[in-house]
Amino acid sequence: MQTPRFAGRGWRLLGPNSVVMARGPDSFGLVGAVLGVLAGKKRFAKYAGQWSAFPGERLPARLQRWFYASSLWGGPVFANAAPDPRRPRLVSILNASLSRQDWQQAEQGSHAREHTGPLRLLFAGRITPAKGIDTLLRAVALCVQAQHAVQLDVVGDGSERPAAEKLAKALDLGACVTFHGWVGRAALFEHYRQADTFLSGSRHQGLDKVVLEAMSFGLPIVATDISVMPFLVQPPRCGLLVPPDDPPAMAQAIQTLLVAPQQRTQMGQNARARSADFLFEDLEVRFRQMLREHLRLAV
């Protein structure tokens, strides 16, 4: 019932404005996009979700991606996606999560780490079904079964935390998995400094900002081969990618880095250098440039 009311109000608001920005995947954003087309306004879309299709994707999101990619939309789409020469209106722009100051402060944690004791693995983020924390736990269990010394720190909270803790107990991981819950930014940054490798088991994701943060601290990445991850991680330059929902592949990637500390260090150095391409200040400059180029706006 809210959509007709929103459409009427949106149409009235279009009058004094010359540019429409539609945000997706969002139903109201799509309504605004259609209104922008009907009104003949200059327009662009910012698609924050995963641009490529994935299992279980909701129908409204699929329809929105189709609409923004079609000639009906007719405007650029700024998305968390790799550049694609086949789609000139698809503009690759990854959301930044670090300022230049943050990046500079992270340098103290990006130097070569002391590789003694168990390999310190880190996950940070919301513990939801999409994040694949169960995959990470099963991968760690396989590493333990193979007599590899690993320690996983889970930073964050969410709907799946009780199930994740129950699974960790069932897998007998109490001695090597610690759930920390939500922590402040300073405490999170300390976890980055103490870790050896960052893990991401996401099943679908626009851009996992904590991956960029981890890279800024010189952490090699072991993540799922989804969405924009190949473009960001550039395997094997900054880390390794595995299929989603594949604990054996995740465990094998962890073990590969565990037995190759020099390779792990080099990946971490590459990851830090790569993260410098996605800072807040540079994002603003690129965004203005794209508005000038694609919409002929004087910004």
Q: How far, in Å, CA of 235 to CA of 215, rounded?
A: 13
Tokens coding 105? 């402060």
Residue 226 buriedness (CB in 10 A; 0-12 / 13-18 / 19+):
buried
Query: What is the C-alpha to C-alpha distance for residues 166 and 149, in angstroms, rounded to an integer?
Result: 22
Determine the longest span between alpha carbons in the chain, in angstroms. Answer: 67
Decide whether 2-96+280-295 matches 100-275 in CATH topology. Answer: yes
Q: Note down pLDDT in tens along the chain; length 299 residues.
A: 466 676 777 777 777 778 888 888 887 788 888 888 988 888 999 998 888 888 888 888 898 999 998 989 988 998 888 888 787 788 887 777 788 888 888 876 665 566 678 999 999 999 999 999 999 999 999 999 999 999 999 999 999 999 999 999 999 999 999 999 999 999 999 999 999 999 999 999 888 889 999 999 999 999 999 989 999 999 999 999 999 999 999 999 999 999 999 999 999 999 999 999 888 888 888 888 888 888 888 77
pTM as predicted:
0.88
119-124: strand order across its sheet: 177-181, 150-155, 119-124, 197-200, 221-224, 239-242
Could you tell me the residue ranges of all domains in the chain?
2-96+280-295, 100-275
Residues 100-275, CATH architecture: 3-Layer(aba) Sandwich (3.40)
CATH 3.40.50 fits 2-96+280-295, yes or no: yes
Look at residue 220 in the predicted model and tell me its pLDDT: 98
